């Protein structure tokens, strides 16, 4: 499990070795955020950025919360392109193979809308199974003044949580951890996430413990994508993430790995 977990981190989480924050968005996109005046303009921006044609179906959800230092309410918009994933599978004649992995690929995206400037980012891709839409939640993590946000994404029978903080009107991924793996297969691993005060920074530590949930068995493989297990902590320690203000990332201490 450790090998699988750290391989996933190596593939999809940004390294914290550089001296400035990084993101999936290109630097030139960060410097010139698009200004949107109303909901219809936001929708047109989404369709333009993701090249969504008029005949293509897609789902989007708007989450609202105070995510930076100003006094305006910001938005996280999730976009799911399952229809595109299905059509691509049909076009390549790989429906059965792609269905086995929940149509894994670049079919889930987020946009950030800054409440004060009304600016919207370019799409931030969250590679995952297209059959499961992204789930957004909020928590005071790096500061008590406003919220950070978390995204739960699914890959087959596994679910991962990404942590983001907003800096200069752009979301930056600060960490990622697994919530469960192999759910419903009899070999599942369950993990619980909690937060604790840090002795080194105002940002809270992220604590991962062994979790538990009621046993579940799926009668059809697709059921896992809509199922949301209720996870409780057993108290058994797994790992602790510490925040680096310099790198805007969470890290593990060597003696705790």
Digitized pLDDT (tens) for each residue of the chain, 257 residues in all: 443 444 344 333 333 333 333 444 444 444 456 776 688 999 999 999 999 998 999 999 999 999 999 989 999 999 999 999 999 999 988 899 899 889 999 999 999 999 999 999 999 999 999 999 999 999 999 999 999 999 999 999 999 999 999 998 999 999 999 999 999 999 999 999 999 999 999 999 999 999 999 999 999 999 999 999 999 999 999 999 999 999 999 999 986 76
pTM of the model: 0.86
Tokens for 101, please give them.
Answer: 């992995």
226, two tokens: 């809509």
Distance, CA of 110 to CA of 81 (rounded, Å): 12
Instruction: For residues 182 and 208, give the distance between their C-alpha atoms in angstroms, rounded to a whole number.
Output: 18
Q: Please give the pLDDT value at position 19.
A: 32
Q: According to the model, what pLDDT value does residue 13 have?
A: 36
The most distant pair of C-alpha atoms in the chain lies apart, rounded to whole Å, by 55
pLDDT at 257: 61
Half-sphere exposure of 49 (CA within 13 A, CB side): 21
Strand partners of residue 79: 60, 109
What whole-number distance in Å separates Cα of residue 182 and Cα of residue 140? 30
Residues 156, 102 contacting (CB under 8 angstroms): yes
CA distance 103 to 45: 25
DSSP state of 223: G
């Amino acid at each position: 499990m450790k090998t699988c977990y750290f391989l996933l981190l190596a593939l999809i989480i940004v390294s914290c070795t550089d001296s400035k924050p990084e993101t999936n968005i290109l630097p030139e996109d960060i410097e010139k955020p698009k200004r949107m005046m109303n909901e219809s303009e936001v929708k047109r921006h989404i369709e333009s950025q993701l090249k969504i044609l008029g005949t293509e179906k897609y789902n989007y959800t708007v989450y609202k919360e105070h995510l930076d230092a100003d006094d305006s309410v910001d938005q996280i918009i999730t976009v799911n392109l399952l229809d595109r994933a299905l059509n691509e599978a049909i076009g390549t004649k790989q429906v059965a193979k792609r269905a086995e992995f929940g149509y894994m690929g670049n079919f889930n995206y987020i946009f950030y809308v800054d409440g004060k400037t009304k600016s919207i980012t370019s799409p931030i891709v969250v590679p995952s199974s297209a059959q499961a839409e992204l789930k957004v939640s909020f928590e005071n993590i790096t500061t008590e003044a406003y919220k950070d946000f978390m995204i739960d994404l699914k890959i087959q029978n596994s679910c991962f949580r990404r942590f983001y903080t907003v800096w200069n009107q752009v979301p930056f991924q600060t960490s990622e951890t697994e919530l469960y793996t192999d759910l419903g297969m009899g070999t599942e691993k369950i993990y619980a996430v909690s937060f604790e005060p840090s002795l080194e920074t105002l940002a809270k530590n992220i604590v991962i413990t062994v979790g538990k949930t009621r046993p579940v068995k799926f009668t059809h493989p697709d059921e896992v994508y809509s199922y949301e297990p209720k996870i409780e902590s057993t108290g058994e320690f797994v790992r602790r993430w510490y925040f680096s203000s310099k790198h805007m990332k969470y890290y593990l201490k060597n003696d705790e790995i």
